[in-house]
Structure 1
Amino acid sequence: MDDPIDTAGRGPIAAYLAEDHARLEALLAAAAAPAGAVDRGSFDAFRAGLLRHIALEEKILLPAARAARGGEPLPDARRLRVEHGAIASLLVPSPTHELIRELLTILTPHDRLEEDPGGVYAQCEAALAGREDDVLLRLRAYPPVRVAAYYDGPRAIRTAAEALRVSALQREPR
């Protein structure tokens, strides 16, 4: 989540999701801008938007790509799911500047994995050739997600390393 993303020359799915990343990056930057407390309005909008974005990928994009590949998941699908779980767990406690820094340690490489040339979004578009418009319509139509209240109790996860560890354990094949 550092440099602006150039969506020119990308397919419609990649452009839509990269533009959403840029929107979310701007909200997170606004949330982190105050020197004191995090701007809660911006963070709340970021949190809700990011949870919706994760849902788009988990419930529409990755399953559509898997189906188009004859049931074979994308090579990085498991990694994405582990990172999505970790990101979601870091959105549980009330936001702090330290928590935002932890989120960024996952989000920055995660977004690049998805957006870089040959990345997950490009792989999805290649698998979905001829069906991109249908998937894009489903992505656009997806409703906002319900967001739970923040939880700051003892079981709240506050570091990227712990979030990734716990998420990977929950995602182990059975």
Structure 2
Amino acid sequence: MLAALRGAAHTTRKSFRAFSSTTSLANATKKDAESFRLLRNMVNAAAQNSQSATFIQNPNSQYRSFEYNTFITPDRLKYNNVLKTERRHLTRPKVGPSKREARKADPFYQLNIDPLDMALNPFVLNNYVSDMGKIYGRNVTNLTMKNQRRLGKAIRRAKMMGVIPVLSKRNILQNGVSNYRG
């Protein structure tokens, strides 16, 4: 709206003086009245154009666009707040990886090993148990659904057989030497 007024501002400065409160209307000429009417028409036209204008966002821009008819705080105008940045997820996702991602990351799937065969191997099972003895979920282990189920079954079997502790995670390697007595 203001861009339309810039051109008219230079030509109508004298007409503003004629209609200001400090000068009398008797000093106003016909030319001043005409330029004032022209300015009023330009302001009305710019106001109508701004109301009917559609806001087009540029998805390729590196800057965040401002929404039409919204309040903007001064902090929003800082350079770091105007840049588009990817938000980092501070927490792990609640669900596990997709089938394709799990197959790439699952060592049991890649080596064609059944996790149930590892029930007597505490070295392998310890990597999938927390310090409190809880079995990690798929979002942490990145295993396929089938291997996660079978690994959970193997860990529960190992706990029942006494191969690994039930309520804690045994530190198997201390100072590079195994303290496993099996």
The normalised TM-score by structure 2 is 0.20
Structure number with higher helix proportion: 1
| Greater Cα radius of gyration, structure 1 or 2 | 2
The normalised TM-score by structure 1 is 0.21
